[in-house]
Structure 1
Amino acid sequence: MVQPLQAGDPWSEEPPQPGRDSESTWSLSSFDSSDMTTVFGEHLQPSQMTEVLLVAIEALASDDASDRQMGSSVVDMAVRDPAGWLTDVPKVTRSIHRTVERIQSEPARHSLDSLLLLLIKWCSEEVVGSLLKISPACDSAALAMWEVMLSVPWALWNVLMELLNVLQDQKLRKVFSSATEDACIYPLFLLVCPGVDPEEFAALYKAQRYLRHPSPLMLSLVLRVLLTLSESPEMARRMPVLVPDLVETLQDASADVQTKALLFFRNLLVHLKQEEASLIALQLAEKLLPLFDDECSQLRELSISLFREVVKAVAKQGRNKKKMALQVRRVLLPLLLHVADRSESVAQASRDTLASCAEFLGWTRLSSLAETCETRLIGECLLAPDRSRAEEYLRQSLPYLKDSQASLREAAASFLGLAAQRLRNLSQEKRWEICNALLPLAKDPELSVRSVAAHTVSVLTLTEWSPTWRWRLRSLGCWLC
């Protein structure tokens, strides 16, 4: 059983830091990879090989490519022969913790991840106990290590078993900051326990609602576990009971948590039966729209792509199409504008999702246009059906005039001009509101945005305006009046 950290405990002492010395790293890189196995195997004791491994781990973060390559070679040797190299697991774990955040090279990170997974397979109790003692509050380096250990199903099982043992020791419950967070481990354990069927797990979860108020850190770890488990159809079918609480994580959470939640929901929609998937899709639909405009391009792409899967899930089941249609109409204008997103992957996701939404609504022309980049024709298609919907699109487009992306500001200004041409009987009050929103773009740093905004104001002021309205526009410094 893991013991808590005490004063004078050797865990609290800073271990030697091989590799910080440039000579140590140089001595490692002086070996030719072809003779390392022979040299280390014949001339070094296991404890000395562990010290070499510590130098190799440090070398993974080196700026020198040859040092990183040699470090990877040694780490890979240790993975192939753990009995010879891993004589001091706590020291190796501490070395990984010290180094993991400084590794920038993908091959070097792959070598370190392989070593960490090997450690979990080789001696999971020591690794989990060591990491909890090194970072009981779970700093960012520890979180990066947990992420690796929780990302593979067999490693996840080992970690959960060890954490369960830790939580049964009252002296070690301080590892987590509250009883609520401790309790998060138990439903995760029950999820993978073959003796608990989905109905029993659902009843147990509903009685406790473990995931309602975990800390952001615990929520991130829990979602990493759920994301790994949800890749299995059998595990995914146990999880619908978690959805109402996890849907709420899409609001006011970190980008990391939101990303994991979106990937988790994507897995569920794939693996669940049509009726269950349709009900979850309805819960998700209105929560996804705010993420379309997130600063993080990955979140924009994931949320837009997931909305497409949401639409498909409801279309297959058929029973909730009327409710879903209301949500689909709300996203059409944001999707049109994001066709101009500076991220090509977001722009492509927007085109694909717009096509799926049009197909869902039975709008054949829009469905075919969505596959093109003809945004003006798409805009005309959106404005055609009825006036009330067109005015709603006008309202939705105004906030995009302040978007951080110049391409979206330009797209919004262009759409407003198109709408003004199509809706010639707009009230003067509505025209005033639009012009007022466009005026700041007179000083936009992008010439194309200034030009499109000026053209839109020109379109809006073509009709007969009263002297009072003309004076109000001039008083605002309208660059065309």
Structure 2
Amino acid sequence: MEQRPPSRPRVAWEEDESSQESSSLVEPIEVCEVEPLQPDAIWLPVYEEEEEAVDFIEAYVRNLERDEVQKMKFLSNVVTVCTTAQEKGLLEGLDIFCCRNKLAENIQALLEEKPVDYLCTDVWQEALLATAALSNVETALEGEMLSLVAACISRVFFLLRNEDLDTQITVMILENLDIMLKSLLISSLGSSVWEKFQSILEMLLYFTTSSSIVVQANATERIWKLVGFLHSCFCEEPFGKYIQPSQRTAIVLRTLEMMRNYSMYDDEYGYAEFILDIAIQDPASWLMDVPNILRFIHESLSNCTTAEHLKLFSVLCILANEFPRELLISILTDLPTLDSTTLDIWKATLSLPMNSEEILQELQNVLRDKRVCSFFEVNTVDLSTVHLAMMRPKDQALVELCDPERLQVCLRLQSLPMLSLALRALTMLSERPKMGRKLLVLLPDVMNTLLYDNRHITEKALTVFENVIGYLEKTEASPIALALAERLLPLFNNESSEVQERSILLFKDLMECVVWWKKGEMKKTVRRALIPLLFRMSDETESVAKASAVVLLACTMFLKWKQLEHLAQNEDITRIREYLLKQKSRRVDEYLQQSLPYLEDAQANLRQEAVKFIGLAVYHAGIQSEEKLNELIQALQLVTKDVDSSLCVLAAQTILCLRSRIKRPIPLWVQLAELFCWPCIARAYGSV
């Protein structure tokens, strides 16, 4: 005899989805043993009420030749008999009748006799209703019912893959599926309800990972409705503990994920919010899988709306309140260590006002945790004091924190959260001259943090440099100034206007720190700063533009270029541009390369300055290299599609003139090209 399948039909979902589309999700079932078949069911209490329906069912199961009308009538009569028995209290013996006539097996056979993509929707809908009605039968049918339910769910969701399915039919099928699933749970609201729910949930969760978005959404919605239904039935007590932990986590993650796909005005969004509220009310049951939930929050924060951002951080807040230790450890060890979103989560966690004291106390324990220290390959002593960076800066705490050797270990960790703590400590210490001077040995490590290109880290590092440089003598500051000035140049074009302004002003301080015998080395860096400063003089942020003008003037004085100094004093951008382009060709080539990235700047006025600069550079330098001209044309072509129409025209005019140089390499033709093309370009650039 065949073995009975498990009560939770897992094996059907072990194969990949593509192999399931042409086969059933369930195995054959064993028919229960019953008494010898009687000639009829006259003994059945419901027989007197539904004699014709009972007789038809018995005749149907004996006759192997059945047409479509008989199949529909069979399903309809199953609904009639089971419904009447339920309504009039005539359920006695109905389980024996159903088992003898293999009703669950016959319904399942009707579902599976057609391919999964066959649009036999009338039969399938009636089969769903028959399954729902059959759910009222006693537990003798429990195993058979779960197998039948698996077949129903499978057929419905594979049917939903069909894009031609009528919307009204889809709604009806899903409504009947909901009725069937709720009926199965209502019939066993006792101790077995959770086992049945877990089995149904496992079936539905399989389809939440379908390649079809429609299937994913509808499977998730079925889960939401069942959870909401059980919540209404067990509103007096948290029921999450009765569901398997992995299933709870899966429901929460799918809910958060689906919230990204709906507007807050959609019904589906309302369902999702309701389920999330259930989880938040009982976090110990629903949100206990901190690493998985945290990873999902991390993945979602990079591309979500403001409303979704707030919802995700509300979940983060619950995690911090309920599982502070697990959350901190998970941020440090489970999330990408050098990712900006990880740092955002870390900062948000440590700054939550409702539980900040508890979090900060837990932070001290976490930094001594063997798992964390092992992850970073350091000993517990190295991390033991850095938590003080989050405390109020009392004298005793600062003295304990001022340990350059331990801070250096933290600065060298490949982790933005740990760097944030270390730099916060250095910021506090650098505000006190005596302690700030002790940090000189750490400045090379602080400089290396600029490579991570993270605004939060960069701003803290700039603060440390601004404070410490002011305490040092020139001979102490000069070596770090030479190295740091080179690192600051990329920051002039940082996305953050605050970083731009601070790095530009710090560059001026560094020029003043260099001892006289090292000024030759510094001049090379200062010359490379001229073009970024010139472009930033046109920045839309007034403070950045003003700082650029001030520092450009300081650069001209440092280089002792008197004529350029005079132009910088007057902030004459047009003539400064011309002055730079009339220098040696080697310098013009370098300036030209520096200008190219500004063609893609977020600010339209800087893109315009770049187009003007390139046109004038070719004009003044007399560039004839076809390879070089083609390179510039290719760069300018991107600007011809700019949203600013005037900029498109300017770029097109410049390209036309560059192409004329390629077509007319002979000096005479060059002169003609300049005669007819360049004057108009020159006027556009303000050079004539």
CA contact (8 A) 2:335 2:342 kept: no
- Distance, in Å, in 2 between the alignment partners of 1:233 and 1:404 is 37
- Distance, in Å, in 2 between the alignment partners of 1:289 and 1:459 is 38
Letter in 1 for 2:447: V
CA contact (8 A) 2:319 2:327 kept: yes
Is residue 351 from structure 1 mapped to residue 545 from structure 2 by the alignment?
A: yes
Letter in 2 for 1:97: R
- Distance, in Å, in 1 between the alignment partners of 2:590 and 2:279 is 58
TM-score normalised by L of structure 2: 0.45
Superposition deviation, residue 115 in structure 1: 2.5
Per-residue CA distance 1:91-115 (angstroms, 9 max, x = gap): 3553343354135233212222233
Is residue 48 from structure 1 mapped to residue 240 from structure 2 by the alignment?
A: yes
- 2:413: which partner in 1? 214
- 2:221: which partner in 1? 26
Q: 3-state DSSP class of the match of 2:495?
A: helix
Letter in 1 for 2:308: A
- Among 575, 590, 599, the residue aligned to 1:377: 575
Bigger radius of gyration, 1 or 2?
A: 2
Superposition deviation, residue 305 in structure 1: 2.9
Is residue 98 from structure 1 mapped to residue 292 from structure 2 by the alignment?
A: no
Alignment of 1:74-473 (within 5 A): 84-87=282-285, 89-91=287-289, 94-102=292-300, 104-128=304-328, 131=330, 136=333, 138-139=335-336, 144=341, 147-151=344-348, 153-154=350-351, 162=362, 165-166=365-366, 168=368, 170=370, 172=371, 175-179=374-378, 185-186=383-384, 188-192=386-390, 194=394, 198=398, 201-202=401-402, 204-206=403-405, 209-211=408-410, 213-215=412-414, 218=415, 220-226=416-422, 240=439, 242-250=442-450, 253-256=451-454, 259-268=455-464, 274-275=470-471, 284-292=484-492, 298=495, 304-311=500-507, 326=523, 327-337=525-535, 351-360=545-554, 363=565, 365-369=567-571, 375-380=573-578, 382=580, 393-400=587-594, 403=597, 405=599, 407=607, 410-417=611-618, 419-420=620-621, 435=625, 438-441=628-631, 444=634, 446=637, 447-451=652-656, 453=658
Q: 3-state DSSP class of the match of 1:214?
A: coil
Asked which structure has the greater RCO (Cα within 8 Å, sep 6+), the reply is 1
Compare 118-127 and 67-76 and name the one that shifted more. Answer: 67-76
Per-residue CA distance 1:207-246 (angstroms, 9 max, x = gap): 773156433xx2x22234356668x867865775543202
- Distance, in Å, in 2 between the alignment partners of 1:136 and 1:382 is 51
Compare 400-409 and 143-152 and name the one that shifted more. Answer: 400-409
Superposition deviation, residue 397 in structure 1: 1.4
Compare 22-31 and 328-337 and name the one that shifted more. Answer: 22-31
CA contact (8 A) 2:567 2:575 kept: no
Letter in 2 for 1:94: N
Letter in 1 for 2:323: C
- Which structure 1 segments of 5+ residues have no match? 1-14, 421-430, 466-481
- 1:476: which partner in 2? none
Superposition deviation, residue 451 in structure 1: 3.6
- Distance, in Å, in 2 between the alignment partners of 1:262 and 1:228 is 11
Q: 3-state DSSP class of the match of 1:176?
A: helix
CA contact (8 A) 2:389 2:422 kept: no
Per-residue CA distance 1:301-355 (angstroms, 9 max, x = gap): 565333223146569xx76698698455531123335678xxx76x878634421
Distance 1:207 1:165, change over 3 A: closer
- Distance, in Å, in 1 between the alignment partners of 2:339 and 2:628 is 48
Q: 3-state DSSP class of the match of 1:209?
A: helix
CA contact (8 A) 2:390 2:421 kept: no
Superposition deviation, residue 454 in structure 1: 5.5
- Distance, in Å, in 2 between the alignment partners of 1:413 and 1:449 is 8
Superposition deviation, residue 189 in structure 1: 2.6
Superposition deviation, residue 411 in structure 1: 4.5
- Distance, in Å, in 1 between the alignment partners of 2:338 and 2:269 is 20
Per-residue CA distance 1:31-73 (angstroms, 9 max, x = gap): 9xxxx9xx87981523439988974553332211234566457
- Distance, in Å, in 2 between the alignment partners of 1:107 and 1:137 is 26
Q: 3-state DSSP class of the match of 1:396?
A: helix
Q: 3-state DSSP class of the match of 1:43?
A: coil
Pairwise CA RMSD: 5.4
Distance 1:184 1:247, change over 3 A: farther
TM-score normalised by L of structure 1: 0.60
Superposition deviation, residue 29 in structure 1: 7.6
Superposition deviation, residue 247 in structure 1: 0.6
CA contact (8 A) 2:284 2:322 kept: no
